[in-house]
Amino acid sequence: MAENRKQITEDFTSRILEVRYTDLEKEKRLCLELLVLAKEECDLYGEVFALTYMGDYYIAVSDMDRAGKYLLKAQRMFPEDQDWEELRLGLTSLLGIYYDMCGDEQNAIDYYLKAVTIAEELGDADRECVVLNNLAFAFQRHRCYEVALEFYQKAYWLQKNAGINPVRSILLENLAEVSLFLRQYEEAKEYILEFEENEKDPLQRVVMGDKNWCCYYGAVGEREKALVYADRLLRNQDVINENKMTAFESYHMLCRSMMELREADYAGRFLEAMEEVSVGGGLDQVQTLEEMRIQYSLLFEPPEKHPEAYCVFYKKNQQFRAKIDETIAGAMKTRIQLEQLMQQVEDMQSEQEILEREVNRDELTGAYNRRFLETLIREHTDGAAEESFAFIVMDVDCFKEYNDFYGHLKGDEALREIAACMMEGARERIYASRYGGDEFVCVCIGLTEKEIRTYIEGVRARLHARAIPHEKSLCSGEVTLSAGYAAGIVKTQIEVRQLLQLADHELYKSKNSGRNTFTGKRVDIL
């Protein structure tokens, strides 16, 4: 009976994997059938698999609320003592895509990197290339082109050395785009030529090749050639629009190229194309679109219209911030529903604690995350009275050298220890958060400058007591921090962000003073 049940599950899982790229509705139907069967037979593997690929289906149809519900439930049910690494790779990769699409870049990158590690351990170069491409594309969308190029190239050489071809055309197209953004024109040209040789779909080869050549000739100043390709692309928008995520990036690149050539008509038409495919897109697309609109206005509209453009940009930016709040609220609701489903025996207080950690805490360190920080700032500035505010920005000294020498696992351990030092001394109205990478930001509300300095000294002392070795440090034999703070009376979000910039400036003063120190100041009038 057990063998028969196992065979039935294997039949379902293989069929789901076969159709997930070609027939979404069939993928959904098979997952639901497997889910019912697995529950009846108490088949944990089948249930987790079905939940995982239901999440895959909802990602494909851009329903992030339902995707999150299924993926997070699969993650909670996944037993750590089972050697289900193929399924773990699939779930981890999809969680990366889910967080990426929700605008949570930090969690997205963490899951992508975990998926890369799992794929390496499995020796699955095929899927490792796919994850690396997704990881690179996440950096590309946020204009971290040097990092994106590094991951694209890693995937490119991996698939070339392994003799596989899962995403070669996509990689070559992305490599060409990023190389153009970085003004590496000869490299871009080589990638475009290789793309044309590799792409088997004749229509894709022509249209995507046209896009790459248009941007290439625009970048090197060959206007007439660029415009010939631009005309052809405008006639083939239906092909570009088949994938709305890549279509948006393509139109963004083409619009930028036409702006650099000062071609108002072409830039405007590609801007309209961006608007068309951005409907229902992520928050990063909303922000990019508004930035391109104001750039277009400044380049091509008369100066008397610029104030109006700035006003529209401001209003859109407010809507953008509201959309972020809506996304946070949606994530919170999803987690509440999930906790009620999975832990009905727990009381409401327990559910709220778990929810708060998942939504507002950085998964690696347990400190607050950037999303929580943004919400906190808005809560204390929107319509509030003037309040004493301070930012402390802390950065790990020579952290790249630490990672290169000790490895990323040790780097993660060091970040957890540093976060612990910050949270141990965080009294009421001190909110310690991981802002990104090895940078931490503390918000202090209603504290005196003396209290702020005492807190920083306490963090440094606790870190020194841990004595984490750092042979490659340029300022000490152990892991150290540089910090900067700025304090002042603020009322508006604009003033708060100015204060954060001042704190960041103080951090760089500490860095330039030899590291392993801190500087700061109080600003009465911003």
CA nearest to 499, candidates 441, 437, 431, 427: 441
Do 495 and 428 have their domain in common? yes
Strand order in the sheet with 387-396: 430-436, 439-445, 387-396, 481-490, 518-523
Residue 445, strand partner residues: 389
Are the C-beta atoms of 481 and 394 separated by less than 8 Å? yes
End-to-end CA separation in angstroms for the chain: 74
- Spatial CA neighbour of 171 closest among 142, 214, 128, 230: 128
In this predicted structure, the answer to whether residue 332 has a pLDDT above a threshold of 70 is no
User: So what's the pLDDT on residue 65?
Assistant: 86
Say whether pLDDT at 203 is over 80.
no
Please give the pLDDT value at position 358. Answer: 62
Q: Which two structure tokens, joined as six digits, stand for 375? A: 């919400």
Q: Could you tell me how far CA 110 lies from the centroid of its own chain?
A: 9
Answer whether residue 246 is part of any domain. no
Instruction: Quickly state the pLDDT bin for 216 (edges 50, 70, 90).
Output: very high
pLDDT at 396: 95
Query: Does residue 49 surpass a pLDDT of 90?
Result: yes
Report the alpha-carbon distance of residue 245 to residue 236 in Å, rounded: 17
Q: Is residue 339 part of a domain?
A: yes
Q: Are residues 331 and 426 in the same domain?
A: no
Nearest to 39 by CA among 25, 26, 50, 52: 50
Higher pLDDT, 103 or 329: 103
Whether residues 430 and 477 fall in one domain: yes
Residue 307's CB is within 10 A of a number of other CB atoms, namely 9
Q: Which segment of 3-12, 68-77, 128-137, 177-186 scores lowest on mean pLDDT?
A: 3-12
Same domain, 341 and 378: no
Task: Report DSSP state, residue 368.
Answer: B
The pLDDT value recorded for residue 386 is 67
> Does residue 505 lie in a domain region?
yes
Claim to verify: residue 114 and residue 173 sit in the same structural domain:
yes
Cα gap 8→407, rounded to integer Å: 42
Distance between CA 255 and CA 275 in Å, rounded?
Answer: 12
* CB atoms near residue 21 (< 10 Å): 10
Residues contacting residue 80 through CB under 8 Å, at least 6 positions apart = none
CA 328: distance to chain centroid?
15
The answer to the question of residue 315 being in a domain is no
Tell me, what's the pLDDT at 379? 76
**347, pLDDT greater than 60:** no
453 and 346, same domain (yes or no): no
Q: What confidence tens digit (pLDDT) does each residue in 127-165 have?
A: 899 899 988 988 887 778 898 999 999 999 988 887 766
172 touches 200 (CB < 8 A): no
In a domain, 303, yes or no: no
317-to-245, 329, 450 alpha-carbon distances in Å: 21, 18, 36
Residues 374 and 396 in one domain: yes
In sequence order, what are the residues at sequence separation of 6 or more whose Cβ sits closer than 8 angstroms to the Cβ of residue 337?
69
Question: What pLDDT does residue 348 have?
Answer: 43
> Based on the domain organization, do 330 and 429 belong to the same domain?
no
Residue 385: pLDDT over 70: no
Q: What are phi and psi of 395, to 5 degrees?
A: -140, 135
β-pairing, 481-490 with 430-436?
Answer: unpaired
- Higher-pLDDT residue of 330 and 209 is 209
Give me 166's structure tokens.
């899962």
What is the reported pLDDT for 82? 84
Find how far residue 376's CA is from the centre of its chain.
21
343: pLDDT strictly greater than 60: no
Phi, psi values for residue 441, rounded to 5°: -130, 130
Per-residue model confidence as pLDDT tens digits over 488-526 = 887 777 788 888 899 999 999 999 999 999 999 988 655
What's the pLDDT tens digit per position in 294-306? Answer: 888 888 888 777 6
Residue 247 inside a domain? The answer is no
Does 383 score more than 80 pLDDT?
no
Name the domain boundary from 357, 386, 414: 357
Same domain, yes or no, for 341 and 431? no
| Domain boundary pick from 205, 234, 263 | 234
Residue 458 and residue 335 share a domain:
no
What is the DSSP secondary structure assignment for residue 305, as one 8-state letter?
G
Residue 50 carries which side chain, given as an amino acid letter?
A: A
pLDDT for position 335? 47
> Is residue 519 a contact partner of residue 506, using CB atoms and an 8 Å limit?
yes
What pLDDT is attached to residue 338?
Answer: 46
Contact yes or no for 32/54 (Cβ under 8 A):
yes
At 519, give phi and psi (nearest 5°): -135, 165
Can you give the CATH number for the domain in which 430 is found? Answer: 3.30.70.270
Which tokens in the block code for residue 372? Answer: 């929580």
Own/partner long-range contacts of 448-455 (Cβ < 8 Å, ≥24 apart): 449/390, 449/487, 449/520, 449/522, 452/390, 452/392, 452/485, 452/487, 452/520, 453/485, 453/520, 455/392, 455/425, 455/426, 455/427, 455/430
Kindly report the CATH number assigned to the domain that includes residue 16: 1.25.40.10
Is there a single domain that holds both residue 334 and residue 408? no
Does pTM top 0.75 for this prediction?
Answer: no
Mean pLDDT of 232-242: 83
Q: What is the pLDDT of residue 46?
A: 92
Does the structure show a pLDDT above 80 at 446? yes
> Into how many domains does the chain fold?
3
> Which residues are registered as beta bridge partners of 291?
none
Q: Measured in whole angstroms, how far is the alpha carbon of residue 36 from the centre of its chain?
A: 34
Provide the pLDDT confidence category of residue 39 given band limits of 50, 70 and 90: confident
Tell me the residue range of the domain where 333 lies: 320-357
401 domain residue, yes or no = yes
Residue 353 is assigned to a structural domain of this protein: yes
Residue 25 has pLDDT above 70, yes or no: yes
- Flag whether pLDDT at 70 surpasses 60: yes
Strand 430-436 and strand 439-445: the pairing is antiparallel
- Choose the final residue of a domain: 331, 357, 383: 357
Specify whether 27 is located in the same domain as 168. yes
Q: What is the mean pLDDT of the chain?
A: 83
Q: How many CA atoms lie within 13 A of 259 on its CB side?
A: 20
Listed in sequence order, the residues at least 6 apart from 27 whose beta carbon sits closer than 8 Å to its beta carbon are: 16, 19, 20, 53, 56, 57
**pLDDT classification of 336: cutoffs 50, 70, 90:** very low
